[in-house]
């Protein structure tokens, strides 16, 4: 299924245009841009639009796709991440049952959540994302302790994380892995979990500093862009880092402005179209449940996220 992403006629109508989108976009626009709590809209996310479509695809065994991590974007793992990012109600019993099932069946020997029941080593990115949505949906605190311990075991001396660290010798963190874990730590704290919280928050501060030392997308040694893909705006981001996803994490976590964010903020501002919207510039290949927005067109997701980032950092353009 493809959902239309029609461009607004003129810049002053951007908010109205966002409010014509999926109910999840409507809810987050009210919450993040208009400062209005709309529990009525949030309740509708599970009953209509993208949220309802995702929920309807859950199979009788409690999974999406073929299994927890198969096939990639249609798997239980990425569907749960999609549902969390919709801001769907966090007390949905079917979702909580699925997360409990994953914890029972996919805990690895190292304490992390593994991608397959017979896997021996956990993946840092998967566990950062798992901590993100499992915390959001209210997983049992005791069930998350070994995930926290695994992530802390894999914390690297330069401040971040790298999903290869428990497989081979690694000397440098990955922006992808680091951001996934930061998002997980934020949800863990936001939802009231306490186990090793101070240690996690200290590691999170080091990880933020790691990203800032790289100005989010530049080599610390040369100052050059180390991967042009980091500048491409996508949604859903999946496991991949891009500047908008990173800046959106900063605003969600309440991170104060730092001059080292400005290069990324400038790039984001440059990507704003004349009509006041932001586009979808990249799509990660692979089978999906359905397409929310087409690449190349105006994106409600990216426009919403860009506007709340720029609002947080007081750089929202006057329209």
Across 210-228, average pLDDT: 94
> Please, are residues 85 and 129 in contact by the beta-carbon 8 Å criterion?
no
Across 75-82, average pLDDT: 98
CA distance 318 to 130: 38
> Please, are residues 313 and 257 in contact by the beta-carbon 8 Å criterion?
yes
CA dihedral 62, 66, 71, 74 (to 10 degrees): -40
Residues in the chain: 319
pLDDT, residue 127, reads 98
Q: What is the pLDDT of residues 165-201, one digit of tens each?
A: 878 888 899 999 999 999 999 999 999 999 999 999 9
pTM greater than 0.75 (yes/no): yes
Structure tokens at 101: 């099932």
CA distance 34 to 265: 21
Angle (nearest 5°) at CA 90 between 123 and 180: 25
For the chain, the domains span 117-270
Q: Which residue has the tokens 């075991």?
A: 153
Q: What is the pLDDT of residues 122-169, one digit of tens each?
A: 999 999 999 999 999 999 999 999 999 999 999 999 999 999 887 888
Across 79-95, average pLDDT: 98
| Phi (first) and psi of residue 107, to 5 degrees | -80, 125
Q: What is the pLDDT of residues 264-317, one digit of tens each?
A: 999 999 999 999 999 999 889 999 999 999 999 999 999 999 999 999 999 987
pLDDT, residue 221, reads 87
Helices and strands (DSSP H and E) totals, the chain: 13, 2
Burial class of residue 35 in the structure, from the number of CB atoms within 10 Å of its CB (0-12 exposed, 13-18 middle, 19+ buried): exposed
């Amino acid at each position: 299924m493809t959902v239309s992403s029609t461009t607004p006629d003129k810049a002053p109508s951007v908010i109205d245009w966002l409010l014509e989108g999926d109910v999840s976009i409507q809810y987050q626009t009210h919450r993040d841009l208009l400062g209005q709590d709309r529990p009525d809209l949030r309740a509708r996310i599970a009953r209509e639009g993208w949220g309802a479509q995702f929920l309807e695809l859950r199979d009788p065994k409690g999974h999406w796709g073929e299994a927890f991590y198969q096939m990639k974007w249609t798997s239980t793992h990425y569907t749960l991440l999609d549902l969390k990012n919709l801001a769907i109600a966090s007390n949905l019993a079917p979702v909580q049952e699925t997360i409990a099932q994953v914890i029972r069946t996919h805990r690895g020997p190292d304490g992390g959540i593994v991608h397959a029941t017979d896997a021996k080593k956990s993946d840092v990115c998967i566990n950062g994302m798992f901590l993100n949505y499992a915390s959001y949906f209210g997983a049992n605190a005791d069930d998350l302790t070994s995930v926290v311990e695994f992530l802390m075991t894999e914390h690297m001396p330069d401040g971040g994380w790298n999903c290869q660290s428990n497989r081979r010798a690694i000397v440098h963190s990955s922006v992808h892995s680091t951001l996934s874990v930061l998002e997980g730590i934020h949800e863990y704290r936001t939802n009231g979990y306490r186990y090793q919280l101070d240690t996690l928050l200290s590691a999170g501060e080091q990880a933020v500093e790691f990203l800032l030392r790289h100005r989010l997308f530049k080599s610390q040694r040369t100052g050059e862009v180390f991967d042009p893909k980091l500048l491409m705006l996508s949604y859903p981001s999946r496991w991949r880092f891009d500047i908008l996803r990173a800046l959106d994490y900063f605003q969600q976590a309440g991170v104060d402005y730092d001059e080292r964010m400005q290069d990324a903020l400038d790039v984001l501002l440059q990507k704003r179209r004349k009509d006041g919207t932001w586009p979808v510039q990249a799509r990660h290949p692979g089978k999906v449940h359905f397409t929310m927005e087409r690449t190349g067109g105006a994106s409600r997701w990216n426009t919403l996220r860009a506007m709340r980032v720029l609002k947080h950092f007081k750089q929202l353009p006057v329209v």
